[in-house]
Amino acid sequence: MKKLFIFITFCLLMNSAAIKAESVKVPDFKLPTATGEITPAQFKGKVLYVDFWASWCKPCKQSFPWLNQLQQQYKDQGLVVIAINLDKERALADKFLQIIPANFIVAFDPEGNSASSFKVKGMPSSYLIDRDGNVQGRHTGFREKDIARLEQSVAKLLQQ
């Protein structure tokens, strides 16, 4: 049991060290929105909170009001929330957005190429990207208990 504990501790330390030491550039994408196309390069100098979602995702329904609040609270400090929809049919996303409006950028990727580039593992999945275009954190799922930690990560990155 002691060896297992040491092994797990070692793996966790190595994993966290790799995250801190490694600077991963945001994968490039060009996606349509309701008002045009977006690419990560357009937002250089901004902190991005990129969130992957789908209309069938129950936690996504819970996260959208929080994403609206996050965008409103931090937009003047340089935060841009981008939600990338992965529904195959745009009508499903549009119906979702009629019920739960988004006060942030919504992009559409029915082919899921951007999700593959980001290596999305679940829904919703979010990525925090610094002003230089480096991925600084990722989070899968959405739970009320995670909100404070997520906001703290956003605020810390905005201060840098």
Residue closest to 131 by CA, chosen among 26, 38, 29, 30: 26
pLDDT at residue 87 greater than cutoff 70: yes
Q: Give every CB contact of residue 117 below 8 A, 6+ residues apart in sequence.
A: 27, 28, 29
**Residue that the structure tokens 């504990």 belong to:** 5
pLDDT at residue 72 greater than cutoff 50: yes
> Which residue ranges form the domains of the chain, and what is each CATH number?
24-159 (3.40.30.10)
- Report whether 117 contacts 29 (CB < 8 A): yes
Position 62 confidence tier, pLDDT thresholds 50, 70, 90: very high
105 beta partners: 82
Position 105 confidence tier, pLDDT thresholds 50, 70, 90: very high
What is the pTM assigned to this prediction? 0.85
For the beta carbon of residue 120, count every other beta carbon within 10 angstroms.
Answer: 19
Q: According to the model, what pLDDT value does residue 88 have? A: 97
For 51-60, how does the pLDDT look when each residue is reduced to its tens digit (9 = 90+)? 999 999 999 9
Q: According to the model, what pLDDT value does residue 23 have? A: 63
For 116-145, how does the pLDDT look when each residue is reduced to its tens digit (9 = 90+)? 999 999 999 999 999 999 999 999 999 999
Dihedral Cα 104, 50, 30, 160, nearest 10 deg: 100
